[in-house]
Amino acid sequence: MKKLLINILLGVAMLMAAYSCKKDADYTYQIGEPVIELKSDVSTALFGDSLVFTVHVSDNQVALSTVKAQLFFTEDMVSETVIRTKENGDYTGKIYIPYLKNIPDGTATMKFVLQNISQKITEQSFDIALSRPDFPYLTLVDEEGEEYLMKRESLYNYSVTGRFPASLSATIKSPKVGDYGNELLFGMAGDGQMTQGLSVDPINFAGLEGEAYNVTFNTLTYEAGPVVEMTFDGEDMFPVDANSYSVQKSFTQGQTIEVSGTDLADWWINPDYFTNEGDGNLTFLPVDGEYRVVAHTDKKHFSVSRMKGDNEATLGNDGHGALWLMGWGVGSPSLDSQFGWNPGAAYCVPEVSSKKYQITGIAGPEHGSSFGQRFRADYLDCKFFFQNDWGGEFSSLTLAQGSENLIKLTSSWNIGLADGVTLEVGATYVLMVDLTAGNDKGIISFEKR
């Protein structure tokens, strides 16, 4: 019985081995003789063009699979076209020649790779002389779709002069050049750098209101002008829209911040965030932390939010972080921009010392106020929140001694003017929250300075 079982097992093993050998024979790899022959001229092309090619492919032993056209800049493959090859014969395709910044005329490599179904391949490589197109003109396109002809001034340099808005948002497009050329679109990428692609953000040009100015662009370097180029504490500020630029980084209390690209002499500077030193520098006033600063170049002021990574900061259980103010009768940079009850549009009240938050403003009229007039003289109804939204808020608050002469607290901890009180127009007032005793023992003070 034991001998019979052994013989059966040996027989099964031999059958499995035979089947395995037969299976391997059916799927032998790397056989056949694929042959490729280039039948068109691929010696020259333009950046931004689509190069048409024709190849004859064959394999008299094994069916073909694909032929690939690959373009290499030095060792980097920058473009590829794949064609299915069902049978021997001629195949025609196109490969895009990328148009890139700061790439001069030069020699690239075009490689053709033919593969059959057994995965055997053959390759052929050819040098291709690439050159940047010399566009006869460019077109400036503003956000309303209006087009302006940019004349060629010299190789790669184009310009147009006009009475454009002081803040002009526009893209730049090229005409098609070459037998199979493509229209190129120049603009901004999400990282604030000039780019070219099918979809780009507008470039933010800047000139003088009511005066003609010259818009320029270089198709080699992507240099454009005139644009607002601002740095804040040594960091480039990236465009948010046509009139605002942003940077996010960490600051320390008392730090000197150099601002370049604008004259701060005619900017309104938030007195709770900065001191204007008068020499192009600011002193940072809140506690150490990460902040996002937005420069509003049209209205000439900075808005600041405390951040935690990619998110706006909130008030922590330890009393540190950010407080957010919403309501009427208070605004920034003026009462023409009152916060209202709009989640997401609250004002970030800075932590000016450990667990103490304040907003300083001048009392002014409801309408037609000037920058710095941030408290309405005859009305106040506002409230602090732990985030830039509905949600966490104070469960109790106490008025500091003397503040009851100016403000009152409602049962829901809204802040209003005390009965019969009108603030002195033109006088400066400071609203402060002190959380040193804990978030549930906050003290509100409001005083005239």
Q: What is the CATH number of domain 319-449?
A: 2.60.40.3620
Domain residues of the chain, as ranges? Answer: 35-131, 137-225, 229-313, 319-449
Q: Provide mean pLDDT across the span 96-112.
A: 95
| 419 bridge partner residues | none
Report the percentage of the chain scoring pLDDT > 70.
92
The pLDDT, as a whole number, for residue 26 is 53
- The whole-model pTM stands at 0.59
Q: Please state, as a whole number, how many other Cβ atoms lie within 10 Å of the Cβ of residue 16.
A: 10
* Range scoring the smallest mean pLDDT among 61-65, 105-109, 175-179: 175-179
Peptide bond before residue 98 is cis, with ω within 30 degrees of 0: no
The pLDDT, as a whole number, for residue 10 is 44
226-235 pLDDT, tens digit each: 877 788 998 8
Q: How far apart are CA 69 and CA 199, in angstroms?
A: 26
- Average pLDDT across the chain, whole number: 91
Q: Please state, as a whole number, how many other Cβ atoms lie within 10 Å of the Cβ of residue 241.
A: 14
Say whether pLDDT at 184 is over 70.
yes
404-425 pLDDT, tens digit each: 999 999 999 999 999 999 999 9
Which amino acid is residue 446, in one-letter code? F
Half-sphere exposure of 12 (CA within 13 A, CB side): 6
Cα–Cα distance list, 265 to 28, 277, 301 (Å): 79, 10, 11
The pLDDT, as a whole number, for residue 4 is 44
Identify whether the C-beta of residue 97 lies closer than 8 Å to the C-beta of residue 48: yes
Specify the length of the chain in residues.
449
- Asked if domains 35-131 and 319-449 share a fold, the reply is yes
Q: Confidence band (pLDDT; 50, 70, 90) for 1?
A: very low
How far apart, in Å, do the first and last CA atoms of the chain sit? Answer: 109
The pLDDT, as a whole number, for residue 27 is 53
Say whether pLDDT at 182 is over 50.
yes
The class of domain 35-131 in CATH terms is mainly beta
- What's the 3-state SS for 279-320? CCEEEECCCCEEEEEEEECCCCEEEEEEEECCEECCCCCCCC
Say whether pLDDT at 133 is over 70.
yes
The pLDDT, as a whole number, for residue 29 is 81
Nearest-CA neighbor of 165 among 206, 225, 216, 217? Answer: 206
Q: Provide mean pLDDT across the span 156-166.
A: 93
355-393 pLDDT, tens digit each: 999 999 999 998 888 999 999 999 999 999 999 999 999
Q: How far apart are CA 209 and CA 188, in angstroms?
A: 23
Q: Confidence band (pLDDT; 50, 70, 90) for 242?
A: low
Q: Please state, as a whole number, how many other Cβ atoms lie within 10 Å of the Cβ of residue 405.
A: 12
Q: Provide mean pLDDT across the span 33-38.
A: 96
Beta strands 381-385; 323-331: pairing state:
antiparallel
Report DSSP letters for 50-119, one per residue. Answer: EEEEEEEEE-SSS-EEEEEEEEEETTEEEEEEEEE--SSEEEEEEEE----TT--SEEEEEEEEEEETT-
Q: Provide mean pLDDT across the span 120-130.
A: 95
* Range scoring the smallest mean pLDDT among 155-159, 191-195, 422-426: 191-195
The pLDDT, as a whole number, for residue 17 is 47
